Structure 1
Amino acid sequence: MSLHTTTLIKALLRQPTAHTPVWLMRQAGRYLPEYRELRARAGSFLNLAKTPDYATEATLQPMRRFNLDAAIVFSDILTVPDAMGLGLYFGTGEGPRFRHPLRDEQAIKRLRVPEPESLDYLYQTVAQARRALDPKAALIGFAGSPWTLACYMVEGGPPGDFQLIKKMLYRRPELLQRILQVTSQAVAASLNAQIESGAQALMIFDTWGGALADGAYQRFSLFYMREVLARLHKTHHGQRVPSIIYTPGGSPWLGEMADSGADALSLDSACNLGMARQLVGHSVALQGNLDPSVLLGDEACIRREVQRTLQAFGPPAAGFGHVFNLGQGISPATSPEAVATLVEAVHELSRVRGGAYA
């Protein structure tokens, strides 16, 4: 099947679709009982992410339950710095940590792009998931942005108040730029390898970009995402491979993000979808941006908010492109039944609104 027959890819490339495609950030996760059972069987999150059979199963679980238009590879953004030798582990109740954070100039100078085989488990997962998926469903590969990865690499774990990395940014920007340069090369290499393994679209999670001030965002986050995007393979086997960037809190910079080289921008729930569409015009597709807490409401609430989001984006027009998603990841408190309601409502209501989609 041609890549361009998948609804998600068509929407990302701003081509007409029969309905608005939908997938959800963290759609493979703790809200699913089968995921919790798989996680227990794996013994640890890292073993789950680094064992291709387990990670493939996690990727496929939501696709079996829901009529989603895309799967996203089950992995973690910190696999890239882990492969760079920083020693990723998960402390009890602490979240991800690094045994060897970048705290001195010599360690930063030694930083290198990892060998491809160090992430072979990820590429095996991509290949296995693509073979197992229905051809009508797209497979999304992903990575963290260089800035976001650098936050963890310098702070040694979740950045909290960003004290260490912002101190480096303002006192020794050349050291931070060295980290970002090497990391951008590593991220691009990983994303290209995911394309070669079967990923049909790519997403860059700039989780901590919104923590930067204006000016610093452009210099230390957006610049290096542009570097990554410029290095990506734009086609594979003659088919376009679209890219998405996501900066929560990035609404002030949407115009600059739209000029980054990405095909789509993913928006957080605080962003006005209609205003974002007016701002970016026909230059990029938009993804988002339902508040995940809506999924804690009843069926009528979910359907009402889905319709409101579709209406906020507006009717089909020249250069349109909308991928329905959440503004942030699914809460573990969400019921699978709520997700089923959401997916069905997006497909039904987007068809009802727009015979022009067909």
Structure 2
Amino acid sequence: MTEFPPLKNDLILRAARGEKTERAPVWIMRQAGRYLPEFREEREKHDFFTICRTPELATLITLQPINRYDGLFDAAIIFSDILVIPQALGLVVEMVPGKGPHFPSPLEEPADIDNRLNKKVDVYKELGYVFDAITMTRKALEGRVPLLGFIGAPWTLMSYMIEGGGSNTLSKSKTWLFKYPEESKRLLQIITDVAVDFLIGQIKAGAQMVQVFESWGGELSPHDFKLFSLPYIKQIADRVKKQLKDDAVPMTIFCKGSWYALESLSEIGYDTISLDWTIDPAYAKSITKGRVTLQGNMDPSILYGGDEIIRSTVRTMLEGFGTNERYIVNLGHGILPTVDPEAVRVFLTTVHSVGLELNKNS
């Protein structure tokens, strides 16, 4: 077992476990990335997936926001990408500047499952670079904040693998669901099996909390979500916790757009539910009834609005969710690449000051 420096700030872990906190902890999705000039400098020197596959570079970039906003973030999240699982399954994924992820040869028909995907994925062989980066980063953090790991959820990954990249309609992947439902479930199960092994490997490597991103959950109807998303994300939580037992860490599920699934999501074994900006705090609290910690949910575009709107929105959010129990501050999706880093500083300092103020007055 790797020895790590003692943790100095466990605020986010306490919040995820439902314990009292002196203020609400904060991190932001994609906090290590494109909005930081220091990241863009590294990106000019290296291909995106080269950074992911080079533990020293992944560590450097994971630490960039922690160093820039010293003492303001309550967690680091490892620099990686959800699409490393499709890569491990045998598909080529490229990150095209200005376009995003691109699969030169996406899956086109169910026969491709047998003909083109790896039958058995050894995550330590195919994705060991992520584990190495997590261990290296955990040491480099020197206990300043916990380190988060993450994966993409099966439906979201399946969609990328079939669409070949981002899509406004997901028409190709939805065609699979409705034309080939059993084959679709088989593909979802294949992805799930790799996801479970990958998350367990991340936790063993040193991740102290993990998040599952169902970024395209809201593209499914409530009925189809129950068929093609919920069983697989539930399976991930069940299997990871069962296999790790006492070594399990808090787990977060983020299903963007799936407001209708809040009750189900609070019953499938996750400690935290991350919310997008379309969900009202009072509604979320009424549905989840304190069974899970809530995370979110400021619209990332608020960060373009100036200091005053950032401060007022943060205050409203903290008043709505509460500041001392079962709440983690975050955006409602990943930070956008053209955000001014100083707007992020305003956001973070406001979370700290208003959180402490509201706690003192409560």
User: Which TM-score tier does this pair reach, normalised by the shorter chain?
Assistant: over 0.9
- C-alpha spacing 1:298/1:92, structure 2 compared with 1 (3 Å): closer
Q: Which residue in 1 is equivalent to 2:52?
A: 49
Alignment-derived partner of residue 178 in structure 1:
186
TM-superposed deviation, 1:314: 3.4
| Aligned-partner Cα distance in 2 for 1:237–1:273 | 32
Residues 79-127 of structure 1, C-alpha deviation per residue, up to 9 Å, x if partnerless? Answer: 0110110111234543212234222333213543421211011111111
Partner of 1:114: 121
8 Å Cα contact 2:12/2:74 also seen in 1: yes
Instruction: Tell which deviates more after alignment, 132-141 or 251-260.
Output: 132-141
| Match of residue 214 from structure 1 | 222
Structure 2 CA distance, aligned partners of 1:4 and 1:113? 40
Aligned partner of 2:175 among 149, 167, 172: 167
Residue type matched to 2:14 in 1?
Answer: K
Describe how 1:289-308 pairs up with structure 2 within 5 A.
289-308=297-316
Say whether 1:158 aligns with 2:166: yes
Q: Are the counterparts in 2 of residues 234 and 242 from structure 1 also a CA contact under 8 Å?
A: no
Which 5+ residue runs of structure 1 have no aligned equivalent?
Answer: none
- Greater displacement, 161-170 / 70-79: 161-170
Question: Is 2:327 the partner of 1:322?
Answer: yes
How do 1:33-72 and structure 2 match up within 5 A? 33-42=37-46, 44-66=47-69, 67-72=72-77
Query: Identical aligned pairs, as a percentage?
Result: 37
The equivalent of 2:148 in structure 1 is: 140
Q: Secondary structure at the match of 2:14?
A: helix
2:346 alignment partner in structure 1: 341
Residue pair 1:141, 1:195 contacting (<8 A) in 2 also: yes
Contact between 1:109 and 1:178, CA under 8 Å: does it hold in 2?
no
- Counting only pairs closer than 5 Å after superposition, residues 131-280 of structure 1 correspond to structure 2 as 131-233=139-241, 238=246, 240-280=248-288
d(CA) in 2 for partners of 1:51 and 1:263?
31
- Counterpart of 2:88 (choices 71, 83, 105) is 83
TM-score normalised over the length of structure 1: 0.93
How far did residue 159 of structure 1 move?
A: 3.3
The answer to whether the 8 A contact 2:8-2:144 is kept is no
Partners of 2:156 and 2:120 lie apart in 1 by 17
Q: Is the 8 A contact 1:113 1:182 kept in 2?
A: no
Contact 1:247/1:267 (CA < 8 Å) preserved in 2? yes
> How many Å apart are 1:2 and its aligned residue?
6.5
One-letter identity of the residue aligned with 2:108: R
Cα distance change of structure 1 residues 239 and 106 upon mapping to structure 2, 3 Å threshold: closer
Higher mean C-alpha deviation, range 95-104 or range 168-177: 95-104
Supply the AA of the counterpart residue of 1:242.
Answer: P
Q: Residues 235 and 109 (structure 1 numbering): CA distance in 2 closer, same or farther, change over 3 Å?
A: closer
Q: Deviations over 1:296-344 (max 9, x none)?
A: 122222211110100111364xxx3100000011112211111111111
Alignment coverage as a number of residue pairs: 353
Structure 2: gaps (5+ residues): none
State the superposition RMSD in angstroms: 2.0
